[in-house]
């Protein structure tokens, strides 16, 4: 699907300013959307919004469908009368450029439990009808997720294949007793999802009303310790006890002698295909409801994926296995219509991956930080772009552009200066300008680059487990941005986002 010539900003909701230790879907989220509209930008790109586990990575979630309830804004709960201002003030934490997830989770758990109890005790009929409608429309995943999180809490958040066997295997009698004995906890988990989606849809309505489209992110693989695998083991490469048998990764390459062993259970694509890829259709159905477009992570894995035995310690001893390819996306398109998808086609691409991408007219990705380590044929240099692509200075996995430039080999720094006809003192603006004036249909830049920030403000370092996903900005940082410069560049580059 082709998108109009447009531009926007990449920033995750956890990075918004907040008085509660981490960003949320409240007032500062709307302030950011107004910033986009004021500067002529029409795209907001986020990372996955699912509930996170160890390490707080959006790419390691307890569910492919549920929302991260810690993004629920306490301020909006105060506005609804579900919390008092005094209760919310008791959970306040310093507003800094680093998230304090541990303290935030503890404080918010107390607030959410209070708010949930008041909701169920005082909700009017109309509100309860909305809750019932939400439960029906999300029945494909909601009940399983609420049960999974409840079971997980009972077992100290251990992986589900380490629970008591009755819980691991979802034995009917055990599940029946669970629902009876822990009905209040299950109700809490359902309300948390209801409130998350209510706040998200209100935020999306604000964005769309101001002409801003939201681009979501869908990881190809799901976490083993997730409601998805627990409730649907037939779709995944796990044994009868829930243990992984075949896992995902990537083979050894220039960057790693042993490859990367991700550990996600692989799909049983033959089983998924037999029922028309229903699990994937439902996943995309919800994503297209939540977002205006979706970036599909690790797109090449749909063409072929690296299969490794779960017993291996590295990704060396693996093999390439054909993926579902066109059959999957044809099934999704048949059920859901046009597919507003961006293909994350970074890394070593093969002709068959490119053919799969192009057969559905999915735009690929171009990263300007990758453009200067070769000659003029480098595909990431703007003069080599096709229109149907999305250009970034960098993504959440890259350093900030200033951080990249400061640590890059001098030959790359020289090429970047030469190509951008600059002295490198404003390299972040130089690369933003290259992206803005390229032929790429869409140009999206991390907020850190618009803010002139160095490597200390990086979001993620791939291959490291801890210390990532922490970055936040303060209200003053957004207020002090050079909005006039952004607005002028958007106008000059004809990136207003309107079709035609």
Q: Closest Cα partner for 195 from 75, 276, 285? A: 75
Q: Closest Cα partner for 199 from 134, 260, 292, 252? A: 134
Task: Judge whether 344 counts as a catalytic residue.
Answer: yes
Give me the helices (H) in 210-241, please: 227-231
Residue keyed to tokens 């900003």:
9
Q: Give the C-alpha separation, 112 to 78, whole Å.
A: 11
Task: Judge whether 482 counts as a catalytic residue.
Answer: no
Please tell me which residue in 282, 397, 426, 482 is annotated as part of the active site.
397
Q: Which two tokens stand for residue 106?
A: 């503890």
Residues 442 and 8 sit within 8 Å (Cβ to Cβ): yes
Mention every residue, 6+ apart, whose C-beta is less than 8 A from residue 345: 299, 300, 353, 354, 357, 364, 365
Mention every residue, 6+ apart, whose C-beta is less than 8 A from residue 99: 14, 21, 22, 23, 56, 469, 470, 471, 472
Task: Judge whether 297 counts as a catalytic residue.
Answer: yes
Residues 486 and 39 sit within 8 Å (Cβ to Cβ): yes
Mention every residue, 6+ apart, whose C-beta is less than 8 A from residue 313: 261
First-to-final CA distance of the chain: 15
Task: Report the DSSP pairing between strands 389-392 and 341-343.
Answer: unpaired
The sign of the dihedral angle between the CA atoms of 382, 384, 388, 392 is negative
Task: Report the DSSP pairing between strands 341-343 and 293-296.
Answer: parallel
Please tell me which residue in 344, 345, 399, 430 is annotated as part of the active site.
344
Please tell me which residue in 217, 297, 303, 412 is annotated as part of the active site.
297
Please identify every residue annotated as catalytic. Answer: 297, 344, 397
């Amino acid at each position: 699907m082709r998108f109009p010539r447009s531009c926007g900003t990449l920033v995750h909701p956890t990075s918004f300013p907040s008085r509660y230790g981490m960003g949320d879907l409240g007032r500062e989220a709307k302030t950011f959307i107004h910033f986009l509209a004021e500067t002529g930008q029409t795209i907001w790109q986020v990372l996955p919004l699912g509930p996170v586990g160890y390490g707080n990575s959006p790419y390691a979630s307890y569910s492919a469908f549920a929302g991260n309830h810690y993004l629920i804004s306490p301020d909006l709960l105060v506005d609804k009368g579900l919390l008092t201002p005094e209760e919310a003030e008791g959970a306040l934490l310093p507003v800094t450029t680093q998230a304090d997830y541990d303290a935030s989770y503890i404080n918010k758990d107390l607030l959410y439990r209070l708010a949930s109890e008041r909701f169920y005790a005082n909700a009017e009929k109309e509100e309860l009808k909305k809750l019932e409608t939400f439960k029906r429309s999300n029945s494909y995943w909601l009940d399983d997720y609420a049960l999974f999180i409840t079971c997980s809490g009972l077992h100290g958040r251990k992986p589900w294949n380490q629970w008591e066997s009755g819980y691991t295997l979802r034995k009917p009698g055990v599940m029946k007793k669970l629902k009876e004995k822990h009905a209040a906890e299950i109700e809490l988990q359902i309300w948390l999802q209801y409130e998350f989606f209510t706040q998200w849809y209100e935020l999306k309505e604000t964005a769309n009303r101001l002409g801003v489209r939201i681009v979501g992110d869908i990881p190809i693989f799901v976490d083993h310790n997730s409601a998805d695998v627990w409730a649907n083991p037939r779709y995944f490469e796990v044994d009868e006890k829930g243990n992984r048998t075949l896992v995902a990764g990537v083979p050894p390459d220039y960057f790693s002698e042993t490859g990367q062993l991700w550990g996600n259970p692989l799909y049983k694509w033959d089983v998924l295909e037999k029922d028309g890829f229903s699990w994937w259709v439902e996943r995309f159905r919800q994503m297209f409801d939540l977002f205006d477009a979706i970036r599909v992570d690790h797109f090449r894995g749909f063409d072929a994926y690296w299969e490794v035995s779960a017993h291996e310690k590295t990704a060396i001893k693996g093999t390439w296995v054909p993926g579902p390819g066109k059959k999957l996306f044809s099934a999704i398109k048949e059920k859901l219509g046009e597919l507003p998808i961006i293909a994350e086609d970074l890394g070593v691409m093969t002709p068959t991956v490119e053919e799969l991408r192009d057969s559905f007219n999915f735009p690929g990705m171009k990263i300007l930080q990758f453009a200067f380590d070769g000659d003029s044929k480098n595909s990431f240099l703007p003069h080599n772009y096709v229109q149907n692509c999305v250009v970034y200075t960098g993504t959440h996995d890259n350093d900030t552009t200033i951080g990249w430039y400061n640590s890059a080999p001098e030959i790359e720094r020289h090429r970047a200066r030469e190509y951008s006809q600059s002295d490198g003192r404003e390299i972040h603006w130089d690369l933003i300008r290259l992206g803005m004036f390229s032929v790429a249909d869409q140009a999206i830049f991390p907020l850190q680059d618009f803010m002139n920030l160095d490597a200390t403000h990086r979001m993620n370092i791939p291959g490291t487990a801890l210390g990532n996903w922490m970055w936040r900005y303060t209200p003053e940082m957004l207020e002090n941005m050079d909005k006039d410069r952004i607005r002028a560049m958007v106008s000059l580059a004809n990136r207003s986002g309107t079709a035609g």
